[in-house]
Structure 1
């Protein structure tokens, strides 16, 4: 029988240190149920910060009534502040905030946050940056979208340099800017961005799981047992480089006539893609477990985008047990060892991408080995670890602000 212990016997050092709760203001112009990588990953981070005992104030544009109904009742564990919003050009299902500096100054004057984190660089994000600096609050930000790289796809090439100048000005006013890969950190540093911190992205490997594969779903796509199904998940838009998917499909179909192509997502290129590949399956926009089942039904995932800062669909496909063919860029370039847990083509080398897809389609044993290794890689991308790194950047910004204020207080008056 173990001896009883008195309270005096307990060693204080054996007890975990209490977690210091912070008041965090998170500003984003997109959030679920909107479907995109920024919205999804920000929701994960907010959940993680909340679990780590922080008080999160979420500031975002009010969504259309249709999406608001999908979102359901406001979260009880997060203080949500809804602002006015306007449709984003070319992205009608998304909203951007409007200038709101005065309202944010009032809000944060009454309830001062320890740090402001800005996820998007639109009008609401710019207002948040100005308000935070007006109140001498520490500010961190995310670099999540390569807006400047979209120019050539939307005939906005002349605006590429001004856009990059704005982004550099925005982020260099922040105490730290989080980027998802080391490659992105180096690229932005070369363009004059300062105080960059690499904070990757996680993936929900319980939701995105090969076990969700459905023979009935594959049959609905016209695929018999043993038929190869290739697919793409994401926005159907020019910046996603989807002509390469069609080229790869045509090359594969020449050797495997029963191969099927599935597009999951929606966007302005849907009609053009359907005209060019009328036999392809267009599954539309999917979410949650339904989206996970669509991934799991694919044998080969094609992702030709060169405009991503990360590309969450890459890790979702890997977690789903898909063999991925992608360019050596963003998440794929960071996580995939070509021929081991996926296949990579040189960035922008479209002929190599097509040849790689044709090779992957023709070697079923190699494809299965790659898919198994991809799943193992994805299972290590835990959102808890990502949230801890995110929290570390916030704490660093707070500590530097506190030190600066202390030093300023110690300086003798003039």
Structure 2
């Protein structure tokens, strides 16, 4: 069971939005989904005057300082992936806490056991339910030899989202898929923003490149994300090997941490592993690369693509909905068939041999990223909440 973390009795005074947010791992892991949820909570508290209470598994040592009040729910660590925890439902003590908090919106950020339990409880107490999609969980099955379960998992996910009053999709393509499943009229788009102070072309640092042993004219491919197999580590390593077989001497930069680091380092023993970075150092590292290679197909949005684009770094990404929402192929980046090492290598070769192409794609990417504003996106979520409260349950 998770370590105890005390919480104060909830405050129930005051008008306006009162959001009970349910998360699978709100501050246990530093990933794109949790960063987005924490930004949302901070915005709701500071800009919208809302009351927010977060219900989530917790770790003995949080991965980062989280926003808002967190109420622990009973959970266990996932075997072999102890950084992630699975909630064991919604016990009576937590249900009583929710009743005392008296939310007028329940927000579910994951279709897990906790989310399903909270969905049923919200119906019991007559509170509208908003859900948001952060991860394409059905795509994970291919990485763990469970492809036969994809159909029943997709059926469950469809039932889960159909049981919500509003669904927040990260891209218009995913919103369209929800509408085609009978959710028309209940779907809105919650995109993501980028911190342009942290991620911008001016963060490129010749000093950092020298510190890491890169020559001024050396092409540095970047992997940026959690080091887990479902992020496409094998594809990335295969692309680097294939490029070297074509005669290109490439030493990639790896930004991120995770349980597959040892395996990844074994595949790329001469790569520069920077581990987990944050703040200014993270922006400098991303901007100091020459091309981001993103083989992942599991993201619902693709934060790393957007952050690299904001830095003026051209992106080679799998042609999936999350990437197509950000990248115009041949204009602000390159899209290739998911998992196709030869296609990735061809795209990388184009960028390695052409400085003008790298510059053109990077400049267009940086311009495109300017339209992704966090405040606008988060205010849109608050507007969905208010519409849901005003209209009541469907």
Query: 1:31 aligned to 26, 48, 63, which one?
Result: 26
Instruction: Provide the rounded CA distance (Å) in 1 between the counterparts of 2:308 and 2:81.
Output: 24
What is the distance in 1 between the residues matched to 2:100 and 2:260? 47
| Structure 2 residue 162 is matched with structure 1 residue 167 | no
Partners of 1:304 and 1:353 in 2: CA distance = 9
Note the C-alpha offset of 1:348.
Answer: 4.8
Residue 206 (structure 2) pairs with residue 211 (structure 1):
no
Q: Which residue among 81, 87, 90 is the counterpart of 1:91? A: 81
Unaligned runs of 5+ in 2: 1-14
Change (3 A) 1:34 1:165: same
Q: CA deviation at 1:349?
A: 4.2
Correspondences of 1:387-406 after superposition (within 5 Å): 387-401=378-392
Q: Which residue of 1 aligns with 2:39?
A: 44
Q: Deviations over 1:175-208 (max 9, x none)?
A: 0111111211233444555632222111111111
**Alpha-carbon displacement from aligned partner over 1:151-182 (angstroms, at most 9, x marks no partner):** 11101122222222222222111101111112
1:198 to 183, 189, 198: 189
1:380 to 357, 371, 374: 371
Give CA deviations for 1:358-386 in whole Å, capped at 9, x if unaligned: 10111112201211221121122001110
Would the aligned equivalents of 2:41 and 2:52 in 1 still touch at CA under 8 Å? no
* Deviation, structure 1 residue 222: 2.5
SS at match of 1:86: strand
What is the TM-score of this pair, normalised by structure 1?
Answer: 0.84
- Residue deviations 1:237-286, cap 9 Å, x none? 22222232223323433566443211222334323322222111222222
Using the TM superposition, give the Cα deviation of residue 316 of structure 1 relative to its aligned residue in structure 2, in angstroms.
1.0
The answer to whether 1:22 aligns with 2:22 is no
Which segment drifts farther, 24-33 or 167-176? 24-33
CA root-mean-square deviation: 2.3
Among candidates 103, 121, 131, match of residue 141 of structure 1: 131
Q: Indicate the SS of the match to 1:65.
A: coil
Counterpart of 1:223 in 2: which secondary structure? coil
Structure 2 partner of 1:328 = 319
- Name the SS of the counterpart of 2:332 in structure 1: coil
- Equivalent position to 2:301, from 302, 310, 321: 310
Judged with a 3 Å threshold, the aligned counterparts in structure 2 of structure 1 residues 240 and 191 are, in CA distance, closer, same or farther, namely: farther
For 1:244, the equivalent position in structure 2 comes to: 235
Shift of 1:129: 1.1
TM-superposed CA distance for 1:63, in Å, is 2.8
1:352 counterpart SS class: helix
Contact 2:58 2:73 in 1 (8 A): no
Q: Which secondary structure state, in structure 1, belongs to the residue aligned with residue 325 of structure 2?
A: helix
Give the total of aligned pairs: 379
Report the CA distance shift for 1:58/1:291 in structure 2 as closer, same or farther (over 3 A): farther
* 1:276–1:349 Cα change, 3 Å: closer
Say which is worse superposed, 130-139 or 114-123, in terms of deviation.
114-123
Deviation at 1:394, TM superposition (A): 1.3
Alignment of structure 1 residues 65-144 onto 2, 5 Å: 65-67=60-62, 70-71=64-65, 78-100=68-90, 102-144=92-134
Are 2:292 and 2:313, in contact at CA under 8 Å, matched by a contact in 1?
Answer: yes
Partner of 1:235: 226
Query: How far apart in 2 are the matches of 1:318 and 1:113?
Result: 38
Question: How big is each residue's C-alpha offset from its partner over 1:271-323, in whole Å with a ceiling of 9 and x where there is no partner?
Answer: 33222221112222222333222211211000011222111111111112211
Distance in 2, matches of 1:104 and 1:398, equals: 23
Q: Is 1:59 aligned to 2:54, yes or no?
A: yes
**Change over 3 Å in CA distance of 1:105–1:140 after alignment to 2:** same
Name which one, 1 or 2, has greater alpha-carbon Rg. 1
Change (3 A) 1:262 1:91: same
> How high is the TM-score relative to the length of structure 2?
0.88
- Is the Cα–Cα contact under 8 Å of residues 327 and 348 in structure 1 kept in the other structure? yes
User: What SS class does the counterpart of residue 61 from structure 2 fall into?
Assistant: helix
Q: Distance in 1 between matches of 2:231 and 2:383?
A: 33
Give the 3-state SS of the residue equivalent to 2:159 in structure 1.
helix
1:138 CA displacement: 0.4
Query: Is residue 336 of structure 2 the alignment partner of residue 345 of structure 1?
Result: yes
Deviation at 1:62, TM superposition (A): 4.9
CA contact (8 A) 1:23 1:54 kept: no
Give SS of 1:396's match. Answer: helix
